[in-house]
Amino acid sequence: MHSRAAIHELSTDRPSICVVVPAYNEGRWISETLDSVLAQTDQADEVVVVDDGSTDDTVAQVERFGDAVRLVRQANAGCAAAFNTGFACTSADFVALCPADDVWEPHKLEWQHEVLVRNPDVDVVFGAARYFGGSDEEYPRPPAAGLQDPATFWGVMFERNVIPDPSAVVRRSLHERLGGYRHVIGEDYEFWLRALAAGARFYYDPRLVVNLRLHGGNLSSRALEIWETLYSARKEHADAVDDDLARRMLARDLLRVGRSAVGVAHTDRAREAYAESLRYRFSAHALAGRAALALPGADRLLRSIVSRR
């Protein structure tokens, strides 16, 4: 394990990598995560855990690892802020993203170092991932391995996020140039789209590098905020893709915004979302939702239903 000062002395042929582990109340899982990071066949140059104001035993679990891990503590500010703190704490060439409940495969950093040495212009390297702890499904993959063609990858990423962030290593200067992660749900997807727009080069290695843990704590109930964020991110970059794809995805996002808004009795937003969705693309579901919310007493009925949950 290299100190931060020693990173500057590493060979320029081998880019340095710092692992950043954001953690908020992850005492149950973080030891297994750190064990997988420290057991890599090609060790990271630094491992930084950013404790985001945990109130459980997360800090105590991290302290068990001694000097192998650098602990940085901050008041609770969310995952995006914790990642940004981690990037700011290192001078490494690349940062490997590692949420505190996921588990790396042993060769992850070795394989990604090899990719970076062979492709020195690449800004983001990512790999395959699968779920565990309730499902063994694979995370969505891009259709092609290797260096991603920007025009093709725009279409792939606009339709769905195929970059599991715990699989990725990100050039630190790219993060700095883009101003870091924005404080939104789904900060990784929003960041990838901005990186694409800025001309970043992406490389996909199809080998399995990370196992994504499923548990109650990471199944978000903030559906409305999630879909609002996805819609905003796609709308910002709609000019980068085919018009038909843009309209189809924006209409779908707004339909889901509408449904989510109905679920929390935000009827005004639901009406707006259904109407906006129909302007992008006709949908019987959006039309039905808009019509139902136009009925007398719809607001009162929805508030009553939600209040009983």
Mutual angle of helices 284-293 and 267-280, in 10-degree steps: 150
- Do 44 and 115 lie in a common domain? yes
Distances (CA, A) of 276 to 126, 222, 250, 269: 35, 21, 9, 10
Residue 89 burial class via C-beta count within 10 angstroms: exposed 0-12, middle 13-18, buried 19 and up: middle
- Single out the residue in 183, 218, 253 at which a domain terminates: 218
Integer Cα distance of 74 and 20 in angstroms = 14
- Single out the residue in 218, 243, 272 at which a domain terminates: 218
Q: What is the mean pLDDT of each run of 10 residues along the chain (309 residues)?
A: 44 85 96 98 97 97 97 96 97 97 97 97 98 88 97 97 97 98 94 98 98 69 88 97 97 95 90 95 90 75 48
Q: What SS3 class is residue 48?
A: strand
CA dihedral 300→302→303→308, nearest 10 degrees, is: 130
Per the structure block, which two tokens stand in for 108? 């992850």
- Do 137 and 267 lie in a common domain? no
pLDDT at position 218 is 45
Integer Cα distance of 46 and 116 in angstroms = 17
Q: Are strands 17-23 and 94-97 parallel, antiparallel or unpaired?
A: parallel
- Do 208 and 230 lie in a common domain? no
| Residue 299, CB-side half-sphere exposure with 13 Å CA sphere | 5
β-bridge partners, 213:
132
pLDDT at position 201 is 98
Any idea what the CATH number is for the domain that residue 76 is in? Answer: 3.90.550.10
- Do 153 and 268 lie in a common domain? no
Range of the domain at 239: 223-307
pLDDT at position 8 is 41
pTM: 0.89
- Do 184 and 233 lie in a common domain? no
Per the structure block, which two tokens stand in for 208? 């399995």
